[in-house]
């Protein structure tokens, strides 16, 4: 496996966009909670956390490798792989507490995006 600066930049772009999407979700969640949203709205916002964060990480990976290998880096493939990690992070984090559920989504999504980049670097696709 050969890890280059290009690989590092691709992961960095994915992390920046993923963290930005997660931050946007946090702002919406705090606004919803402070404005006295119903339990259904708060539940929908909790369920949206891994989806929004995974979309950010997947978009970052897809944008950063555009044109490099079109068959290997399709958005749905990236989204599903990262969404599994984000969902697992939320499940594990929610066992500890609500704040850790959000951190679990963020951390597990980052690890999933990094794992995709390492796996494809090992296969020399990117």
Q: Render pLDDT for 67-82 as a digit per residue (tens, 0 to 9).
A: 555 445 678 888 999 9
pTM of the shown model: 0.85
Please give the backbone phi and psi of residue 35, each rounded to the nearest 5 degrees, phi first: -90, 5
Rounded average pLDDT over 88-104:
90
Name the nearest CA neighbour of 18 among 59, 57, 50, 70: 57
- The residue extents of the domains of the chain are 5-122
Confidence of residue 52 (pLDDT cuts 50, 70, 90): very high
Confidence of residue 104 (pLDDT cuts 50, 70, 90): very high
CA separation for the pair 35, 97 (Å, rounded):
22
> Cβ distance 78 to 61 under 8 Å?
yes
CA separation for the pair 113, 126 (Å, rounded):
14
Position 18 scores a pLDDT of: 94
How many other β-carbons are positioned within 10 Å of the β-carbon of residue 55? 21
Rounded average pLDDT over 23-46:
88
């Amino acid at each position: 496996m050969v890890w280059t600066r290009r690989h590092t930049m691709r992961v960095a772009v994915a992390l920046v966009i993923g963290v930005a999407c997660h931050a946007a979700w946090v702002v919406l969640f705090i606004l919803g909670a402070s404005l006295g949203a119903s339990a259904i709205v708060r539940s929908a916002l909790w369920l949206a956390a891994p989806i929004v964060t995974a979309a950010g990480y997947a978009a970052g990976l897809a944008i950063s490798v555009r044109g490099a290998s079109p068959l290997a880096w399709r958005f749905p493939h990236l989204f599903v792989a990262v969404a599994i990690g984000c969902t697992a992070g939320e499940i594990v984090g929610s066992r500890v507490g609500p704040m850790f559920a959000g951190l679990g989504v963020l951390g597990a999504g980052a690890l999933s995006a990094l794992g995709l980049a390492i796996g494809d670097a090992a296969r020399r696709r990117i």
